[in-house]
């Protein structure tokens, strides 16, 4: 067994009295594509923020490439739902942010990878939401990160653009072989893209599911829909319990 690339070792995290994550143990291999799913507020983004060094655990350690995460690691990039592009910089300048030397050449190559090189001199505000997210993806990948953290990056996109972006992310992940951790509400997106799906409930890992399907994945394939069903049932099963507990509290 290879040494995991990312390790969460007995990680707990609280905000005041609220215990968001409880003793999380998660090993991620180099090059793996992992999705984290679970209902709103279960702590998905907190996991990403901990791995990115933006938050500190209350207990436990987070290791990347055998090194304890202290600040924001050099070779880790994060992409958010809102692309966070700088409106006063052109598309090319946004992608080139923080690069030295031949930044224009590097940024242009990164834009070619997301099929937006012809928009390089425009302002971000004239691009569609999907195009802005492609710029944001180029900006993350121009640094050739070994780990890409995706915090619901496609959440605000329409269904078709979302599908296109999923394909693009998969294509670039296959070509560049970075490790990816995706937080998503969309279980189908998780099944389409991931090697493993982690379901968080009550601050714990409720399910760690290996998706053994060849790529590219057809969503109409029976094996695909079966896996989708299994995960959806696990999510719903827990929510039904929540509802019952909620109802009891209301009636007692």
Ligand X SMILES: Nc1ncnc2c1ncn2[C@@H]1O[C@H](COP(=O)(O)OP(=O)(O)OP(=O)(O)O)[C@@H](O)[C@H]1O
Binding footprint of ligand X on the chain (CB under 6 A): 15, 20, 38, 40-46
Looking at the Cβ atoms of 38 and 153, the one nearer to ligand X is: 38
Least Å distance, CB 1 to ligand X, is 29
Q: For the CA atoms of 98, 62, 177, 111, what is the dihedral angle to 10 degrees?
A: -20
Separation of alpha carbons 91 and 2, rounded Å: 40
Q: What angle do CA 146, 69, 35 make, to 5 degrees?
A: 55
Nearest to 38 by CA among 183, 159, 153, 209: 183
Q: CA-CA distances (angstroms) from residue 185 to 16, 23, 155, 232, 240?
A: 26, 23, 8, 11, 18
Looking at the Cβ atoms of 40 and 222, the one nearer to ligand X is: 40
Looking at the Cβ atoms of 46 and 94, the one nearer to ligand X is: 46
How far is Cα of residue 38 from the mean position of the Cα atoms in its chain?
Answer: 13
Looking at the Cβ atoms of 95 and 191, the one nearer to ligand X is: 191
Residue 23 Ramachandran class (φ > 0 left, ψ -120 to 50 alpha, else beta): left
Strands 18-28 and 6-15 turn out to be antiparallel
Looking at the Cβ atoms of 170 and 186, the one nearer to ligand X is: 186
Least Å distance, CB 249 to ligand X, is 18
Looking at the Cβ atoms of 20 and 150, the one nearer to ligand X is: 20
Least Å distance, CB 198 to ligand X, is 12
Least Å distance, CB 225 to ligand X, is 24
Least Å distance, CB 114 to ligand X, is 25
Least Å distance, CB 18 to ligand X, is 6
Task: Report residue 48 as tokens.
Answer: 């990403």
Report, in angstroms and rounded to the nearest whole number, the Rg of the chain calculated over CA atoms: 19
């Amino acid at each position: 067994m290879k040494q995991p690339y990312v390790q969460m070792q007995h990680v707990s995290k609280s905000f005041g009295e609220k215990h968001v994550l409880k003793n999380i143990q998660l090993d991620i291999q180099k090059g793996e594509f992992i999705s984290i799913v679970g209902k709103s507020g279960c702590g998905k983004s907190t996991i990403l923020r901990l791995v990115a060094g933006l938050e500190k655990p209350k207990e436990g350690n987070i290791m990347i490439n055998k090194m304890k995460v202290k600040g924001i690691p050099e070779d880790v990039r994060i992409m958010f739902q809102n692309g966070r592009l700088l409106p006063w910089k052109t598309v090319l300048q946004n992608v080139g942010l923080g690069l030295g030397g031949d930044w224009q050449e590097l940024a242009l190559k990164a834009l070619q990878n997301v099929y937006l090189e012809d928009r390089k001199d425009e302002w971000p505000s004239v691009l569609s939401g999907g195009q802005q997210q492609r710029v944001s993806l180029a900006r993350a990948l121009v640094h050739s990160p070994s780990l890409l953290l995706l915090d619901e990056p496609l959440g605000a996109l329409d269904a078709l653009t979302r599908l296109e972006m999923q394909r693009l992310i998969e294509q670039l992940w296959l070509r560049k072989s970075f490790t990816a951790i995706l937080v998503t509400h969309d279980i189908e997106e998780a099944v389409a893209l991931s090697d493993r799906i982690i379901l968080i409930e009550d601050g714990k890992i409720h399910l760690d599911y290996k998706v053994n399907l060849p790529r590219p994945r057809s969503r109409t394939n029976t094996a695909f829909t079966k896996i989708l069903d299994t995960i959806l049932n696990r999510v719903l099963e827990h929510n039904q319990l929540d509802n019952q507990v909620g109802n009891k509290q209301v009636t007692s």
